[in-house]
């Protein structure tokens, strides 16, 4: 398996990785060249990060990108960071600037609109884009989405539930794009696994509305029972739902609470969710990355930081033998996949990411792995 794993290495020196400085020279499509890198076959990695829009996420993503370059890059790899902006137009302009800088691959932006804008600038030059949006509809034709794909998470949890004889599921989800995607994916997976969706309740995302929706579902279950409740929520709203369901008489010995990866870090702090199941990327891989990041920067990474690490580590891996020409679709769509900060992943031909996902059970103040994430993908590619 081609690997960009987060194996521990020595502490990086107190200087940053190669980053395009103000005195770097641009020579047409050959690209920006810092004085200290002249004469080398440079691999230029463009970074489009939300420096002005989401500075905390941008800083963590950039820190993680630097860390990946220390761990996996070499002296010929150059990071060229730019602000991805707040919309499609600004991302397009920033990506065009990276094209002029000679970027061989563009990593980012975070938002859907930004990835579209960057893709429109990069496709004409056959420069691949690894964006961080979770909207799989914008991938393909040289655009890859290194993100947490909601549809795959729903597939994993429904499949696991069905294998444990849970055949009726109710849904609680916010009335926004995320919640509607959960509902659509749940209905599609339910059909595949002969599961019935007994109730579906979408609500405005406040603690009060979430609690009221949970009470409504609990009342409905008295006349039309369900074996599981999928709660697509996080934070205080998740805890409000758990409390409301138990107070309204839902018996957790008969009804299994289930969730997506957004439960991570929140669910074990709410006693009413004990015994619930949720989907997660490989916890061991994530813990290793977080420890490495903490030791280097003295703070915990944001949830998105690992994406920056894996994207740059992947770029370093693919360019190790192929240099600037190493980013072919054949290489990026390697069916065996890659081992990253959140475990096993690979890109499909449509640009969507496929991850190896674990099933986690919530315990009092802790979690336990019920079914570990796979360590390799099936050779069939399905």
Q: What is the pLDDT of residues 157-171, one digit of tens each?
A: 999 999 999 999 999
Q: Which CATH superfamily is domain 25-33+40-145+283-354 in?
A: Response regulator (3.40.50.2300)
CB atoms within 10 A of CB 283: 18
How many CA atoms lie less than 13 Å away from 39 in the CB half-sphere?
2
Mean pLDDT, range 149-155, rounded to an integer: 94
Confidence of residue 309 (pLDDT cuts 50, 70, 90): very high
User: Which is higher by pLDDT, 214 or 284?
Assistant: 214
Domain locations in the chain? Answer: 25-33+40-145+283-354, 150-281+358-371
How far apart are alpha carbons 66 and 344 in whole angstroms?
Answer: 21
Q: What is the pLDDT of residue 254?
A: 95
pLDDT of residue 62: 97
Q: Is the pLDDT of residue 11 over 60?
A: no
pLDDT of residue 380: 54
Q: Where are the beta strands (DSSP E) in the chain?
A: 25-26, 32-33, 43-49, 77-83, 105-107, 129-131, 143-145, 168-174, 196-203, 228-231, 256-259, 277-281, 338-340, 343-347, 353-355, 357-363, 366-371
Question: pLDDT category, 41, cuts 50, 70, 90?
Answer: confident
CB 361 within 8 A of CB 275: yes
**Mean pLDDT of the chain, nearest integer:** 90
More confident residue, 112 or 73: 112
Report pLDDT for 20. Answer: 58
Domains 25-33+40-145+283-354 and 150-281+358-371 share a fold: yes
Rounded CA-CA distance 261/59 in Å is: 23
Specify whether domain 150-281+358-371 bears CATH 3.40.50.2300: yes
- Is the model's pLDDT at 153 over the cut of 80? yes
Report the predicted TM-score, pTM, of the whole model to 2 decimal places.
0.85
- 91 band by pLDDT with thresholds 50, 70 and 90: very high
């Amino acid at each position: 398996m081609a690997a960009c794993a987060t194996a521990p290495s020595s502490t990086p020196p107190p200087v940053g990785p190669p980053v395009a400085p103000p005195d770097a020279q641009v020579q047409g499509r050959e690209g920006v060249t810092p004085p200290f890198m002249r004469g080398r076959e440079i691999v230029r990695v463009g970074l489009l990060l939300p420096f002005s829009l989401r500075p905390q996420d941008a800083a963590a993503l950039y820190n993680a990108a630097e860390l990946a370059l220390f761990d996996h890059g070499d002296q010929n790899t150059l990071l060229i960071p730019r602000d991805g902006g707040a919309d499609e137009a600004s991302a397009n302009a920033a990506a065009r600037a990276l094209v002029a800088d000679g970027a061989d691959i563009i990593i980012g932006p975070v938002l859907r609109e930004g990835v579209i804008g960057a893709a429109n600038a990069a496709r004409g030059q056959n420069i691949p884009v690894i964006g961080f949006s979770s909207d799989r509809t914008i991938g393909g034709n040289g655009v890859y989405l290194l993100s947490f794909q909601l549809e795959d998470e729903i597939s994993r949890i429904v499949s696991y539930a069905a294998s444990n004889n849970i055949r009726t599921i109710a849904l609680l989800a916010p009335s926004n794009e995320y919640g509607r995607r959960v509902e659509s994916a749940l209905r599609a997976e339910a059909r595949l696994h002969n599961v019935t969706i007994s109730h579906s309740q979408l609500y405005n995302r406040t603690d009060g509305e979430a609690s009221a929706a949970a009470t409504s579902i609990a009342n409905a279950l008295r006349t039309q029972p369900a074996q599981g409740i999928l709660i697509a929520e996080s934070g205080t709203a998740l805890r409000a739902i758990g409390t409301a369901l138990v107070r309204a008489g839902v018996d957790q010995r008969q009804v299994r609470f289930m969730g997506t990866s957004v439960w991570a870090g929140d669910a074990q702090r709410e006693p009413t969710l004990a015994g619930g199941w949720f989907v997660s990327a490989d916890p061991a891989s994530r813990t290793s990355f977080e420890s490495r990041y903490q030791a280097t920067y003295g703070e915990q990474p944001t949830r998105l930081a690992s994406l920056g690490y894996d994207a740059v580590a992947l770029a370093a891996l693919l360019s190790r033998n192929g240099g600037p020409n190493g980013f072919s679709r054949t290489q990026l769509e390697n069916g065996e996949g890659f081992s990253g900060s959140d475990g096993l992943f690979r890109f499909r031909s449509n640009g969507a990411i496929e991850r190896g996902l674990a099933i986690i059970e919530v315990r009092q103040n802790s979690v336990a792995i019920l079914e570990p994430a796979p360590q390799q993908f099936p050779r069939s590619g399905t």
